[in-house]
Amino acid sequence: MTVGFMDKKKKKKKIILVIFILLILVLSLFIFYIGDTNNSATMTHTNGELIWPTYKHDFSRTGNLNLKEYEITDGLSMSTVSSNAPESINQEFFETGDNPSPIFVDVDNDGDDEVISYYKNVVYDKKAHTRPFRDFVMLIDYKENPTMLEKLEFGEVPFRRKWIFIPGGEVHTSFAAGDIDNDNDIEIVFGSDDNYLYALDGNDGKLEWKFKAEDKIRSSPAIGDIDSDGIQEIVFGSDDGYLYVLDGTNGKLKWKFKAGDKIQSSPTLFIDRGVQVTFGSDDKHIYVLDGYGKKICDFKAEGIIKSSPLIYNDNIVFSDVDGIIYYLSKSCKLNDKFKTGGNILGSGTIFKDQVIFAADDGMLYLTDPKGINELINVFSPSISTPVNIADNFIFLSTTDGELISVNDTGIYTHFKNNQSIDFSCSPSIGVIQKVLSYSCFYVQVDNYKNYAGIFVNSFMYLL
Ligand SMILES: [Ca+2]
Ligand SMILES: [Ca+2]
Ligand SMILES: [Ca+2]
Ligand SMILES: [Ca+2]
């Protein structure tokens, strides 16, 4: 191989790179700039609504993403930015359960979201009979030219890992982010199977504080000033049956509330004469508490409740795992209930002024307080929460290993993992390089070709 040949090759590479950059620039001009989405770093009060960037992105902890008005004239097109998964697995290391949804949050205020995700190590060293590294929580950010080392860690992808944190147990909750201690930096909070609720500094991943419950934490934390004292509280449930409320500045217990069984349902905060907290439990009840721990009401459903209640037109809307959808008043009176044809593990999402649920019978159920209005067959079971993007389409993960979008014109596949690996996370949405991006966590339980990891992909909307 001569030097001249190498030079030519380099030149060619350069030209391709320049064309690529120009293409990106031109595309960027056309891409709708989302601007001020709900992905603000701290919980804010806007129009009486509280917003904080959990994976569900809004006050009522649903998959609604309120973008500014835009229109799609070219259908939905998507370009893959990256994909990331380890190569091998040993099934014995898995515990089953919900897998965390990543979160998009701009921790360094540079206008691009970073992605915080769990990384489940499924790589098994057959000789040493050990896993070469522990599971960790990580923050990754976009980088055009990763170093060789970063490439090796992440595959051929333009992302780098900025920090990792190693919790003492598996993580099955999703992440919440916000300035919980009023120091103008963003903290990341999540629960673990080691019974701890962790609060990390978003910039460097260092532990700020941790709090120990009596059992696993599988209920994703909510952040909000629920008692109007100017301090953010962290609200979450545990398998020990308690709903915990912690002081965000130091992780000290403010109060706790005992339910009759595990609380794996993620609490929802809403405003109704002060901030109130609603959540479900394995004891089949939905609870509504005030911000000081006093029970306002409860309601007994037919099945256990794992999902997060949704507040919609003065209704508390939820499903039990048996697929019965309930509409309650805020004082826990049953307005209506109806049975779907499948099991529902995810939460409801408001879509075009209806509440939509995804079920494991391959159907989307569009409901209002009067019943089921419409069924959409997406031909793929789902056990997660659908995301409403600008009332324009529903974005959904499926147990066939696909991320799909559904709108009036049809069903589109945006991402499919190689081996039809279960998606049990709900897709999360953010903005990287002014492009709407999404991420999910996935695992497969199979002895040989298994994966556990995350990816970050981008939609492209052409105006
Ligand atoms: Ca950033
Ligand atoms: Ca802070
Ligand atoms: Ca801090
Ligand atoms: Ca408070």
Pick the residue with more confidence: 152 or 353? 353
What does the pLDDT read at residue 427?
Answer: 86
What does the pLDDT read at residue 418?
Answer: 62
Q: Which amino acid is at 11?
A: K
What does the pLDDT read at residue 125?
Answer: 62
Give residues whose Cβ lies within 5 Å of ion ligand 4: 225, 227, 229, 231, 233
Residue 196, H or E segment: strand 196-201
Question: Please, are residues 293 and 275 in contact by the beta-carbon 8 Å criterion?
Answer: no
Strand ranges (E), 330-384: 334-339, 349-351, 354-358, 363-368, 371-377
The pTM assigned to this predicted structure is 0.82
At residue 3, does pLDDT exceed 70? Answer: no
Tell me which ligand sits closest to the C-alpha of residue 231.
4
Pick the residue with more confidence: 399 or 196? 196
The tokens describing 60, both together, are: 């009522």
Query: If we measure between CA atoms, which residue out of 173, 191, 89 comes closest to residue 453?
Result: 89
The tokens describing 353, both together, are: 């002024």
Using CB atoms within 10 Å of the CB of residue 284, give its burial: 0 to 12 exposed, 13 to 18 middle, 19+ buried.
middle
Query: What distance in Å separates the CA atoms of residue 306 and residue 350, rounded to the nearest whole number?
Result: 19
| Alpha-helical runs (H) found in 283-408 | none
Query: What distance in Å separates the CA atoms of residue 202 and residue 184, rounded to the nearest whole number?
Result: 11
Query: Is the CA virtual torsion 441, 219, 445, 151 positive or negative?
Result: positive
State how far the alpha carbon of 290 is from the alpha carbons of 256, 269, 279, 314, in Å.
12, 10, 12, 16
Determine how many CB atoms are found less than 10 A away from the CB of residue 234: 26
The tokens describing 445, both together, are: 């339980």
Tell me which ligand sits closest to the C-alpha of residue 430.
1
What does the pLDDT read at residue 342?
Answer: 94
* pLDDT tens, position by position, 157-184: 677 889 999 999 988 888 988 889 999 9
pLDDT-based confidence at residue 21 (cuts at 50, 70, 90): low
What does the pLDDT read at residue 262?
Answer: 97
What does the pLDDT read at residue 145?
Answer: 76
At residue 422, does pLDDT exceed 80? Answer: no
Query: What distance in Å separates the CA atoms of residue 410 and residue 379, rounded to the nearest whole number?
Result: 12
What does the pLDDT read at residue 33?
Answer: 34
Q: How far is the CA of 187 from the centre of ligand 2 (A)?
A: 5
Query: If we measure between CA atoms, which residue out of 177, 219, 164, 224 comes closest to residue 430?
Result: 177
What does the pLDDT read at residue 419?
Answer: 59
Tell me which ligand sits closest to the C-alpha of residue 114.
1
**Residue 234 pairs with which residues in a beta bridge?**
223, 246
Give the mean pLDDT of 290-295.
Answer: 97
Query: If we measure between CA atoms, which residue out of 424, 412, 416 comes closest to residue 457?
Result: 416
Q: How far is the CA of 453 from the centre of ligand 1 (A)?
A: 21
**Residue 269 pairs with which residues in a beta bridge?**
277
Give the mean pLDDT of 189-201.
Answer: 96
Q: How far is the CA of 395 from the centre of ligand 2 (A)?
A: 31
Query: What distance in Å separates the CA atoms of residue 15 and residue 232, rounded to the nearest whole number?
Result: 51
pLDDT-based confidence at residue 30 (cuts at 50, 70, 90): very low
Determine how many CB atoms are found less than 10 A away from the CB of residue 83: 18
Query: What distance in Å separates the CA atoms of residue 233 and residue 43, rounded to the nearest whole number?
Result: 11
The tokens describing 91, both together, are: 């099934």
Indicate the SS3 state at residue 92: helix
19 phi and psi, to 5 degrees?
-60, -40
Residue 161, H or E segment: strand 159-165
The tokens describing 276, both together, are: 């109130």
162 phi and psi, to 5 degrees?
-90, -40
Tell me whether strands 371-377 and 387-389 are parallel, antiparallel or unpaired.
unpaired
Tell me which ligand sits closest to the C-alpha of residue 183.
2
At residue 94, does pLDDT exceed 70? Answer: no
The tokens describing 107, both together, are: 């921790």
Tell me which ligand sits closest to the C-alpha of residue 179.
2
Matching residue, tokens 């129009």: 47
Q: How far is the CA of 21 from the centre of ligand 2 (A)?
A: 36
Q: How far is the CA of 293 from the centre of ligand 4 (A)?
A: 12
Q: How far is the CA of 267 from the centre of ligand 4 (A)?
A: 16
Question: Please, are residues 254 and 284 in contact by the beta-carbon 8 Å criterion?
Answer: no
What number of residues does the chain have? 463
What does the pLDDT read at residue 459?
Answer: 72
Q: Which amino acid is at 183?
A: D
Determine how many CB atoms are found less than 10 A away from the CB of residue 96: 9
Query: If we measure between CA atoms, which residue out of 375, 349, 348, 347 comes closest to residue 362?
Result: 375
Query: What distance in Å separates the CA atoms of residue 193 and residue 284, rounded to the nearest whole number?
Result: 22
